Amino acid sequence: MDRSPSADEIRERIGRFQQLLHRHDVDGALMVQKMDVYYLAGTDQDAHLWVPASDEPLLMVRKSMERALEDSPLKQVLPLNSLSQIPQYIKENGNSEPGRVGLEMDILPVNMYHAYLKLFPSAEMVDISSLIRQVRMIKSPYEISQIRAAAQITDRMYEQVPQFIEESETEIHLAVRVEAFYRTRGHTGMTRFRTFDLGINYGHIISGASAAEPSASPGPTGGSGLGPFYSQGAGFNPLGRNKPILIDYASLMNGYISDSARVFSVGKLHDRFRRAHQVMCQVQDTVAREGRPKVRAKDLYEIALGIVEEAGLSSGFMGYPQPVAFVGHGTGLEMDEWPVIGRGADTILESGMVLSLEPKYVFPGEGVVGIENTFLVTERGMEKLNAFPDEIVIC
């Protein structure tokens, strides 16, 4: 399997992005966010990427020039010793001084923004973060193949979990085994997010009452974590009997993410857990069936709310006491890509979108149940990329 996208694919991505720049009257985009640069240049080196609305892009590399030349198919790769070189490089690349410069303002530090103002004193700075996210939202066959492969790794991991649980005393012990499984199959040990200052290595392994503890996690669950310095995910909580164990971990293949979750238990769970889990699976299956091109994301979210309301499970759905207002999110090079299946989300689904549906239910002081799988939007609805059964696994 190819570890990186082809030169043709990189050119196609750049072309789609340039069309949006042209449509929004942006002369060019100056990009620094790691995954945006990788997506358009094929390398994650410390670099600035200039993408003009027309003409060839320019990759200006701080470190490592050698790796950038090895990785990137771009024709123009130059060393960058000082930010002051950027305007001159752009002029030498055949571009006139830009009047409107696009920046990734959703993630750009203020000090860098002010540095760019000094570099281009006559230019208007505009936000192009939504434009690059739109381009990245539609996955190519290459990207889909990577996410499929990541989903298959997850399926193999779930097959091993009963043995991992048998060997583990606490959430942390279980996490070590699951993470070792992933690392030996190509996981970087880091799951990328675009959200500011959000760091999660793999996801959450949480059990029993500790799983229902509120946290700063942007998702519906958090867990106790290791302490106030990292208050989510696995902690030193024992894996008890007859309590739900939620494994909500992302797998990676060549940087691409498949996000999924399953519930395990040592011994049979109470009927209320099993019923809530079944309703969450119903939510997932219904949204997946209805989620096809031309359907609006917020309408799918309303369908999910209707199911849980009819089941009498509104309180605790997608978190407690502060539920999140979504039931699915895009995934690709980052965990929080577009589209979002959530309240007020106006995105209209298109073929080639990849997202994870994650209906979860929290029983305060008792535990968490629910499901998550990664799906591909097709003309016939959403295709589930994970094959491992959705039912609770009794160990």
Which domain range does residue 341 map to? 138-394
177 and 306 inside one domain: yes
Query: How much is the pLDDT for 167?
Result: 96
CATH number of residue 214's parent domain: 3.90.230.10
128 and 145 inside one domain: no
Q: How many domains does the chain have?
A: 2
The pLDDT > 70 percentage for the chain reads 99
Residue 210 has pLDDT above 90, yes or no: yes
What's the pLDDT tens digit per position in 43-69?
A: 999 999 999 999 999 999 999 999 999
**Over residues 285-313, mean pLDDT:** 98
Last residue within a domain, chosen from 92, 121, 136 = 136
156 and 108 inside one domain: no
263 and 355 inside one domain: yes
Please, which pLDDT band fits residue 3 given cuts at 50, 70 and 90?
confident
What are the tokens at 210? Answer: 């500790």
Residue 264 has pLDDT above 80, yes or no: yes
CATH number of residue 116's parent domain: 3.40.350.10
Residue 1 has pLDDT above 70, yes or no: no
Residue 2 has pLDDT above 80, yes or no: no
